[in-house]
Structure 1
Amino acid sequence: MARHVYRCPLRWADMDVYGIVNNVVYLRYLEEARVDLIFRMGPTEGDAFFKDGSVVVSHEIAYKQQLAHRHEPVGIEMWVSSLDSATVAVDYEVKDGDTVYATASTVMAPFDFRRGRPRRLTDQETAFFEKYLEERAA
């Protein structure tokens, strides 16, 4: 299946006193990459998943190597690792070539904010995420 790659810029404020990207900044990087992926859902309504409502259920991040601040962006490769009627899990590798700085996963759920409760994925959302579905290795 397809993977989505986002080229994430590094900012001066992202680094800590040691000149490396601070661990808490990774969540922002993952969010930027995830939004970039989801906005590809439709040519005119790219925000379909956000417009109809969604929430983040959980994040997991494993830091593999320090990422030094620099001017060049870092690649974030992402794919859907799990998809059911009520959740979608997106996995990521923050990397340059074979150098992996972090691996991560985000679980999201569709949510109806007007009613204040979870909802099911629409057929359009499911079809979009299926294009990126790649089951996790056991």
Structure 2
Amino acid sequence: MRHIYRCPLRWSDMDAYGHVNNAIFLRYLEEARIDFLSLRGTESKQGSVVARHEIDYKRQLVHRPTPVDIELWVTQIRAASFTVSYEVKDADAIYVKAATVVVPFDFETQHPRRITDAEREFLEKYRDDAEEAVAA
């Protein structure tokens, strides 16, 4: 299964060349990831931090009033990290393919932690090994 986040484009996202600035795409990925992880519905001092981003820019995204879709899925689950892949796209165009390595983190102890059974069960629902957005 994949998660779709409808990401609004903001006027301030545009650069001097008239398209969405490449650096802004990292914020878009963050918004999609937060939306995805909020589906777990748990509040605690447990969270996650980003260990790595990989991003391939495929084409320019011009500012417009309609949102862009960010399709998100899990491609790898390890003991203490998982990889999320993304495509930022419309029906007829892919603007970005990306991947993020996410590490579960205990904010109380300030240390990385292992993925819990409940988290693994949640992530497995969105696992799709068939296609990684960015080749590792």
**Separation (CA, whole Å) in 2 of partners of 1:67 and 1:6:** 16
**Separation (CA, whole Å) in 1 of partners of 2:93 and 2:65:** 17
SS across alignment from 1:53: strand
Deviation by residue 1:72-123 (Cα, 9 ceiling, x = unmatched): 0000001001001100100000000131000000100111222222110111
Amino acid in structure 1 at the alignment position of 2:59: Q
Runs of 5+ consecutive residues of structure 2 not aligned to the other structure: none
TM-score (norm 2): 0.92
**Separation (CA, whole Å) in 2 of partners of 1:104 and 1:61:** 4
Amino acid in structure 2 at the alignment position of 1:91: S
Write the mapping of 1:1-138 to structure 2, written as runs, cut at 5 A.
2-42=1-41, 45=42, 47=43, 51-137=45-131
Runs of 4+ more than 3 Å apart: none
**Separation (CA, whole Å) in 2 of partners of 1:16 and 1:128:** 37
Q: How many residues align?
A: 132
**Separation (CA, whole Å) in 2 of partners of 1:107 and 1:21:** 24
SS across alignment from 2:40: coil
**Separation (CA, whole Å) in 2 of partners of 1:54 and 1:71:** 32
1:53, CA displacement in angstroms?
Answer: 2.4
Amino acid in structure 2 at the alignment position of 1:38: L
SS across alignment from 1:40: helix
Runs of 5+ consecutive residues of structure 1 not aligned to the other structure: none
Amino acid in structure 2 at the alignment position of 1:133: R
1:17, CA displacement in angstroms?
Answer: 1.0
Question: Percent identity between the aligned chains?
Answer: 56
